[in-house]
């Protein structure tokens, strides 16, 4: 999985990582994000329709879970943090569902505002299976608007963030390009001294944030060239210059992650498990959550990145966007440093 030297290093820092995780519940975080609801509808194939050459499914189950920026919010809460969500939902059933899920785990939704013009961003996967056969996705239906959020709503979100700045230890911006992270919102969020940015587009809009967590394609788009082992250092330097950030954590899928800092240092962490990887969707949100909590409770940036990597190694084993807990993280760490047991 990784070499003996890294294993030894991990064994040495494990007690410290455990002590940091013990303090996750002290952390208070505000997330300004594009909130999405992921829906999974499944049914058994009954027959072919007579109206059209399509399958008719008998509905069996509907699963609804937070996605996009809502997944970052949910991950933070499941790791034990005190979380305030800031974002937009439509005046629809999906928005109510998302709010209900948040409130069921104690997330503060005072900053989740109602957008009368646009629907809650919802991605509905419809999957079917024949009798005693595997389930497979047939179609996905997305509900979203390409229109920007109403300017008054943007200002209301920004005002809410400003009002809450003193009550949280960090602000996370989770930008999936759906319009919550407008200029006024970004400006308000960046007033905090600890800001973590996960954005699919235009990193430079968040210039001056503390840490960014682009995945490889996002990093490549930002610098304008493809990134490999040979030019990794150059890419890190370019990204830091572009964003004026203190640290840049590039997540690199099965290659793990690389951390670049203003002082010129660069460290890479291998993926903690490359077997039993079922679904990497949302792993980036999990990284952001654990990284942020680590930084809040006093981890060094590389320790915080290790915690992010550890948390990600758990969720990539689960289908769909997923969350993990401190208990699971500790168990996973124990497994990593005691191979064969």
Ligand X SMILES: Nc1ncnc2c1ncn2[C@@H]1O[C@H](COP(=O)(O)OP(=O)(O)OP(=O)(O)O)[C@@H](O)[C@H]1O
**Active site residue ranges:** 285
CA dist., res. 261 & res. 134, Å (int):
46
From the list ligand X, Mg ion, none, pick the one residue 21 interacts with, judged by a Cβ distance below 5 to 8 Å according to partner type.
Answer: none
Nearer to ligand X, 41 or 315 (CB): 315
- Tokens representing residue 178 in the block: 């759906």
Extract the tokens encoding 147: 């229109």
- Pick what 303 binds: ligand X, Mg ion, none; C-beta below 5 to 8 Å, kind-dependent: none
The interface region with ligand X, picked from 18-26, 237-245, 312-320, 328-336 by CB under 6 A, is 312-320
Q: Which is nearer to ligand X, 39 or 218 (CB)?
A: 218
Residue 282's alpha-carbon distances to 71, 95, 234, in angstroms, are 7, 20, 27
Q: Do residues 64 and 275 make contact, with C-beta atoms less than 8 angstroms apart?
A: no
Q: How many residues of this chain bind ligand X (CB under 6 A)?
A: 22
Could you tell me the smallest distance in angstroms from the CB atom of residue 215 to Mg ion?
A: 5
Q: Which stretches within 120-215 are classed as H helix? A: 151-164, 183-189
Which parts of 196-215 interact with ligand X (CB under 6 A)?
215
Closest by alpha carbon to 148, among 178, 168, 183?
Answer: 178
Q: Which of residues 233-292 bind ligand X (CB under 6 A)?
A: 251-254, 256-257, 271, 273-274, 277, 280-285, 287
**Quick one: angle between helices 4-22 and 301-315, nearest 10?**
90
Site residues for ligand X, 57-116, by CB under 6 A, read: none
Q: Which is nearer to Mg ion, 108 or 175 (CB)?
A: 175
The entry of Mg ion, ligand X, none near residue 256 (CB within 5 to 8 angstroms by kind) is ligand X
Nearest to 295 by CA among 185, 158, 193: 193
Please report, for residues 18, 244, 282, the alpha-carbon distance to residue 97 in angstroms, rounded to integers and kept in the order given. Answer: 34, 38, 20
- Is residue 2 packed enough to be buried (19+ CB in 10 Å), middle (13-18) or exposed (0-12)? middle
The answer to whether residues 201 and 173 touch, using CB atoms and an 8 Å cutoff, is: no
Whose Cβ is closer to ligand X: residue 24's or residue 272's? 272
189 binds, among ligand X, Mg ion, none (CB under 5 to 8 A by kind): none
Could you identify the residue written with the tokens 């996905």? 140
Which of 194, 280 has the CB closer to ligand X? 280
CB of 124 to ligand X, least distance (A): 18
> Minimum distance from CB of 277 to ligand X (Å)?
4
Per CB under 6 A, which of residues 31..60 are in contact with ligand X? Answer: none
Q: What are phi and psi of 6, to 5 degrees?
A: -70, -40
Cβ–Cβ < 8 Å for 159, 182 = no
Shortest Å distance, C-beta 79 to ligand X: 15
Q: Which residues bind Mg ion (CB under 5 A)?
A: 215, 284
Footprint of ligand X on this chain (CB under 6 A)?
A: 215, 251-254, 256-257, 271, 273-274, 277, 280-285, 287, 309, 312-313, 316
């Amino acid at each position: 999985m990784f070499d003996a030297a890294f294993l030894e290093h991990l064994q040495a820092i494990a007690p410290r990582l455990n002590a940091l995780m013990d303090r996750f519940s002290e952390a208070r975080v505000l997330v300004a994000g594009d909130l999405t609801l992921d829906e999974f509808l499944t049914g058994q194939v009954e027959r072919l329709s007579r109206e059209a050459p399509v399958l008719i499914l008998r509905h069996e189950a509907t699963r609804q879970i937070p996605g996009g920026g809502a997944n970052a919010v949910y991950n933070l809460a499941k790791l034990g943090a005190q979380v305030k969500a800031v974002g937009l939902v439509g005046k629809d059933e999906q928005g109510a569902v998302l709010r209900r899920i948040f409130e069921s785990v104690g997330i503060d939704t005072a900053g989740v505002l109602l957008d009368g013009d646009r629907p809650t961003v919802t991605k509905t996967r419809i999957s079917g299976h024949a009798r005693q056969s595997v389930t497979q996705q047939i179609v996905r239906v997305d509900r979203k608007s390409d229109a920007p959020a109403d300017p008054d709503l943007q200002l209301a979100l920004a005002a809410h963030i400003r009002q809450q700045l003193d009550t949280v230890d960090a602000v996370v911006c989770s930008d999936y390009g759906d319009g919550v992270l407008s200029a006024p919102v970004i400006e308000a969020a960046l007033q905090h001294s600890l800001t973590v940015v996960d954005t699919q587009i235009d990193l430079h809009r968040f210039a001056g944030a503390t840490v960014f967590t682009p995945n490889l394609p996002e990093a490549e788009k930002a610098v304008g060239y493809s990134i490999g082992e040979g030019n990794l250092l150059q890419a890190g330097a370019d990204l830091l210059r572009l964003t004026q950030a203190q640290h840049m954590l590039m997540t690199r899928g099965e290659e793990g992650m690389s951390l670049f800092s203003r002082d010129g240092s660069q460290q890479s962490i291998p993926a903690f498990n490359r077997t039993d990887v079922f679904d990497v969707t949302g792993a980036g949100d999990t990284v952001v959550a654990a990284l942020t909590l680590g930084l809040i409770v006093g981890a060094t940036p590389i320790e915080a990145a290790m915690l992010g990597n550890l948390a990600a190694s758990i969720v990539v084993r689960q289908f769909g966007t997923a969350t993990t807990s401190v208990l699971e993280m500790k168990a996973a760490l124990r497994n990593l440093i005691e191979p064969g047991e």
